[in-house]
Chain A
Amino acid sequence: MPKTIMSVDDSASVRQLVAMTLRNAGYEVMTAIDGLDALIQLKARPVDMVVADLNMPNMDGITLVRELRAQPAFRFVPIVLLTTESQAEKKTEGKAAGATGWIVKPFQQEQLLAVVRKVLG
């Protein structure tokens, strides 16, 4: 059974790029437009991994990580944050909240896949 990954991003183009890249690599992909949307969807259906943007309206990536880690079903699920090079200090904050890793934007499709393989196996 293919593993399911949720892409959370307020930018439709990034969502599409992430979804397309992962689907082409054989993963199932769910998408959410911000942290809140992701949280509501994930309550109904757990996934194997979450790729979330850092800056989003309604609920940002770090809050999403914190909320998810508080749920038993997401205690060990890899969560990777998308950051930009100007947000280096946010990496530390994300890590403290329980993020597994990060991908620096802009990224190439192979970089995304390399990180997914790294944390998902």
Chain B
Amino acid sequence: MTVTTADPAATYRQEAAELLAQLEETLLDLESSPDDQELIGKAFRALHTIKGSGSMFGFEAVAAFTHHVETAFESVRSGRFGVTPALISLTLSSLDHIRGLIDAPEDAARPEIEERGAALLAALADIVGGAASGAGSAPPALIPSPPGERKTWTVTFRLAENAMYCGTNPLLLLEELRALGECAVTALDDRLPGLDEMDPAGCYLGWKVVLTTDQPRTAIDDVFIFVADDAQIAVEEAVPLAVAAGKETPSAAPASPPVPSAPPARGESRPSVRVQAERLDSLMDQVGELVIAQARLTQIAAASDDLALRSIAEDVERLAADLRDTTMGIRMLQIGTLFGRFRRVVRDLSQALDKSVALITTGEETELDKTVIESLNDPLVHLIRNAVDHGIESPEERLAAGKPAEGRIVLSAEHAGAQVLITVSDDGKGMDRAAIRRKAEERGLIRPGADLSDSELFSFIFHPGFSTAGQVSNVSGRGVGMDVVRQAINSLRGSIEVASEAGAGSRITLKLPLTLAIIDGLLVRVGAGRYVLPLSAVEECVDLSPEDDAQGVTDETGGRSFLNLRGALVPFVRLRGIFDVPGRAEGYQKVVIVTSGGLRVGLVVDHVIGQYQTVIKSLNWLLDDVEHFSGATILGDGSVSLILDIPHLLKKAQAGHVVTQAS
């Protein structure tokens, strides 16, 4: 293994000198035996190497000149011309010329050198007849082609079955296509053989890629340059879609099945049907019941040896999941319908308060379950009112602070995993930390001088009756509002985060689940009871060590202690304590770390059972005053399990934590 840091150009020079010496010898040998094909081939290869490497190492003049000599020898090699003494002496002179070009590349452009080269080439051309006329073979330049018209292509390709044995990685091809533009990938699995015939490394899948790109067609062809010879590749220009292809579910992994109902290729007239909202609600209810029934079927099938039953159970599971996704999709509405109303709110309010405020909305196309959207109206009105009233200053104050007279409120929505983030931000004066602290101390919520983080401090604005407004206006400041906001968001199983910078404004972020009806849950056991935690709130599960377990067992709030999680202190609560489960847990307990609204707490459970698709059933109004739980669900075996109210539990744990820290 040679590890050298020498300049490759210097090495080339040395190599070329050796090659030229070798070539000289070959030519002299050739003079005495002009018909020796081996010698002719040797001379040709030497010239070829000098030319090829020359252009790689920046000796362009060498490459251009040698190209013509090489071409002459190509004619000799192919038998069109014999080796003559004249050719030999001319080639020897050319060789000296090349040597000169390599030794002093900076002289290559001097007229007398160029003239000598041209004279040599002309003489060569005389001998081999016009062979030296072709242009030099400069390597193709790598200029990215200018973006052209945006087009949509349908690229269908199947690699050779043995493609992977040639080191081809189909995933990289897909990635390369993806780099060209928006891609919707569908796997074609119709040629998958049975297991007994399948070569595990064989490539049986094909792919259909709908690609929208402004790159030219050649860019697509280039992706397949190495596999074009033995793969089936079809690139067709698709009729442009009226609607963005983003609604298609792209297959994440190559092994996933094709999307059953591909959207129509031409979208000029897609018929739509108006349906009453209640019908959609009952459809969702029925899908929920189906998912529960399917879970029971799966459980029974899993315990059975009947293969037919198990295969049906698997089919039903898949169909139920598809049906659930489709139904949820139908229930999705764009949040823009809601945003539109706030323009008026902001306009009326800013006029009433003599302020100048612009409302900017983004992400109107973000889709949310219609029930969530309906429940968001009131909280958002409160937040926007607050921003206009408390956040944005009067035009005079703003000008004095060096800000434009017109205030800005930005209302935005975006998807983040299985959640939607809705943000209300303003460029007003920000929240007054000192005032909030004073008020919290006044009301006995914290001890004086307590050390609080910003998110803990700001969370007080959601306390009932908590207002720092110096004087009550008819718009806000009566302390009603923010606690209503929090209640509404909690009931949507969402969370609130507050950020504020004095003088620069505040930002309130609502994190909401995409849908209310079905969630992914984590099933845990505490004593004899099984409970579901929304998986979106779960950060991780860790073992509860005996040392951590020994802390604070007798505390009246259910035993609150701290866990050292990679250097961070995380308070934890024992669900056994909260639920009054008698006795001690057998074996090692687990701590489920949950987060909500920027707060983090561990919940101690006896056992983590696993992930579970949860159809949420709300509790009867008779149970409205039950704490800790936000709903119930039916498990696969038909028993009922309660869904934990994470924001509530967090509040409880964190409130205790604040007092503990203060004392």
B201 touches A106 (CB 8 A): no
Determine if A99 is an interface residue (Cβ-Cβ < 8 Å). yes
Instruction: Return the chain A residue nearest B7 by Cβ.
Output: A16
Q: Top 9 closest A-B pairs, CB basis? A: A101-B226, A100-B167, A78-B167, A13-B12, A16-B8, A106-B55, A13-B11, A17-B8, A106-B56
Q: How far is the CB of B140 from chain A (nearest CB, A)?
A: 8
What mask results when residues 4 to 42 of chain A are scored 1 for a CB within 8 Å of chain B, else 0?
A: 000000011111110010000000001111000000010
Q: B54's closest neighbor in chain A, by CB?
A: A106
Could you mark each residue 21-54 of chain B with 1 if its beta carbon is under 8 Å from any beta carbon of chain A, else 0? 0000000000000000000000001001101111
Bound complex: CA A11 to CA B22 (Å): 14
Contact check, A69 vs B165: say whether CB atoms are below 8 A apart.
yes
Contact B1 A121 (CB under 8 A): no
Q: A16-B6, A100-B166, A121-B175 are in contact. Are A11 and B139 (CB under 8 A)?
A: no
Q: Is the CB of A15 within 8 A of B2?
A: yes
Can you name 21 A-B pairs with beta carbons within 8 Å?
Answer: A12-B2, A13-B8, A13-B11, A13-B12, A16-B11, A20-B8, A31-B3, A33-B2, A55-B45, A75-B201, A84-B52, A86-B74, A100-B166, A106-B52, A107-B56, A107-B139, A108-B141, A111-B142, A114-B142, A118-B226, A119-B167
A35 CB to nearest chain B CB (Å) = 15
Interface contact A95-B230, CB-CB below 8 Å:
yes
- CB pair B56–A14 under 8 Å, yes or no, is yes
Is A31 a contact partner of B1 (Cβ separation < 8 A)?
Answer: yes
Q: How far is the CB of A44 from chain B (nearest CB, A)?
A: 10
Asked whether, in the complex, the Cβ of A110 is within 8 Å of the Cβ of B229, the reply is no
A11 CB contacts on chain B under 8 angstroms: 15, 49, 53
* Interface membership of B459, Cβ < 8 A: no
Does A3 have its Cβ within 8 Å of any Cβ on chain B? no
Considering the complex, which residues of chain B in the window 130-169 have a beta carbon less than 8 Å from any beta carbon of chain A?
137, 139, 141-142, 164-169
Q: Please state if A99 and B8 are interface contacts (CB–CB under 8 Å).
A: no
* A63 in the interface (beta carbon within 8 A): no
**B172 contacts which chain A residues (CB < 8 A)?**
118-121
Per the 8 Å Cβ criterion, residues 63-121 of A in contact with B are: 69, 75-79, 84-86, 92, 95, 98-102, 104-108, 110-111, 114, 118-121
Q: A31-B1, A85-B137, A105-B52 are in contact. List 14 more A-B contacts (CB 8 A).
A: A12-B15, A13-B12, A13-B15, A13-B53, A14-B53, A16-B8, A17-B56, A31-B3, A78-B167, A100-B166, A106-B52, A108-B142, A119-B168, A119-B172
B612 interfacial contact with A, CB 8 Å: no
CB distance from A16 to the nearest CB of B (A): 4
The answer on a CB contact under 8 Å between B167 and A98 is yes
Shortest CB-to-CB span from A13 to chain B, Å, is 4
Which residue of A100, A108, A111 contacts B226 across the interface (Cβ within 8 Å)? A100
Give the residues in chain B near A85, CB-CB below 8 Å. 137
Distance in angstroms from A104 CB to nearest chain B CB is 8
- Tell whether, in the assembled complex, residue A121 and residue B169 are in contact, meaning their CB atoms are under 8 Å apart: yes
Among A11, A12, A13, A119: residue with most chain B CB under 10 A: A13
Contact B12 A86 (CB under 8 A): no
Decide if B168 touches A100 in the complex (CB within 8 Å): yes
Residue in A closest to B176 when the chains form the complex, CB atoms: A118
Residues of B within 8 A of A33 (CB): 2
- How far, in whole Å, are A105 and B74 apart by their CA atoms in the complex? 17
Which residues from chain B contact A76 at a C-beta distance below 8 Å? 164-165, 167, 169, 201
- B15: A residues at CB distance < 8 A: 11-13
Taking a contact as CB atoms under 8 Å apart, the answer to whether A101 and B52 are in contact is: no
Q: Say what secondary structure dominates the interface of chain B.
A: helix
Residue numbers in B under 8 Å from A30 (CB-CB): 1
Q: Which residue of B lies closest to A18 (CB)?
A: B8
CB distance from B453 to the nearest CB of A (A): 38
CA of A79 to CA of B56 in the docked complex: distance in angstroms?
21
What's the nearest-Cβ distance from chain A to residue B502, in Å? Answer: 44
User: In chain B, residues 165-220, which have Cβ atoms closer than 8 Å to a Cβ of chain A?
Assistant: 165-169, 171-172, 175-176, 201
Question: Which residues of the other chain, A, contact B229 by a CB distance below 8 angstroms?
Answer: 92, 95
Q: How far is the CA of A13 from the CA of B3 in the complex (A)?
A: 13
> CA–CA, A55 to B71, complex, Å?
20
Chain B, residue nearest A109 (CB): B56
Binding site for B on A (CB under 8 A): 11-17, 20, 30-33, 41, 55, 69, 75-79, 84-86, 92, 95, 98-102, 104-108, 110-111, 114, 118-121
Q: How far is the CA of A120 from the CA of B176 in the complex (A)?
A: 11
Out of A12, A118, A119, name the residue touching B11 (CB < 8 Å): A12
Report the minimal beta-carbon distance from B45 to chain A, rounded to whole angstroms: 8
Chain B residues within an 8 Å CB radius of A101:
225-226
Verify A106–B139 contact, CB threshold 8 A. Answer: yes
B57 close to chain A: CB less than 8 A: yes
B5: min CB distance to chain A, Å: 8
Within 8 A of A (CB), among B50-72: 51-57, 63
CB distance from A60 to the nearest CB of B (A): 13
A15 to B49, CA, bound (A): 14
When C-beta atoms are compared, the residue in chain B nearest to A95 turns out to be: B229
Which of chain A's residues have a CB closer than 8 A to the CB of B639? none
Do B142 and A79 touch (CB < 8 A)? no
The chain B residue with its CB closest to the CB of A121 is: B172
| Chain B CB within 10 Å, residue with most, of A41, A84, A118 | A118
Q: Which of A17, A31, A108 contacts B2 (CB 8 A)?
A: A31
Q: State how many angstroms separate the Cβ of B23 from the closest Cβ of chain A.
A: 15
CB distance from A98 to the nearest CB of B (A): 5
Beyond A32-B1, A119-B169, whether A108 also contacts B12 by CB under 8 A is: no
B4 in the interface, Cβ–Cβ < 8 Å? Answer: yes
**B1 / chain A contacts, CB cutoff of 8 Å:** 30-32, 41
Q: Assuming A16-B6, A31-B1, A107-B139, is B53 touching A95 (CB within 8 A)?
A: no
Q: How far is the CB of B166 from chain A (nearest CB, A)?
A: 5
Residue of A nearest to B55 (CB): A106
Q: Which residues of A contact B6 (CB under 8 A)?
A: 16
With A and B bound together, what is the CA distance between A11 and B139 in angstroms?
19
* Shortest Cβ distance from B173 into A: residue: A118
Task: Please indicate the chain A residues that have their CB under 8 angstroms from the CB of B2 in the complex.
Answer: 12, 15, 31, 33
Q: Which of B14, B63, B165 contacts A106 (CB 8 A)?
A: B63
A55: B residues at CB distance < 8 A: 45
Question: Which of B55, B165, B171 has a CB less than 8 Å from the CB of A75?
Answer: B165
Q: B48 near A86 (CB under 8 angstroms)?
A: yes
Residues in chain A near residue B52, CB distance under 8 A:
84, 105-106
| Distance to closest chain B CB from A15 (angstroms) | 7
- Min CB distance B478 to A, Å, is 60
Least CB distance, B98 to chain A, in whole angstroms: 16
Q: How far is the CA of A111 from the CA of B222 in the complex (A)?
A: 12
CA distance A38 to B139 in the complex (A): 28
What chain B residues lie within 8 Å of A15 (beta carbons)? 2
In the assembled complex, the Cα of A17 lies from the Cα of B137 at a distance in Å of: 20
- Residues of chain B within 8 A of A17, CB atoms compared: 8, 56-57
Write the nearest CB–CB distance from A93 to chain B, whole angstroms.
12
Report the Cα distance A119→B223, complex, angstroms. 10
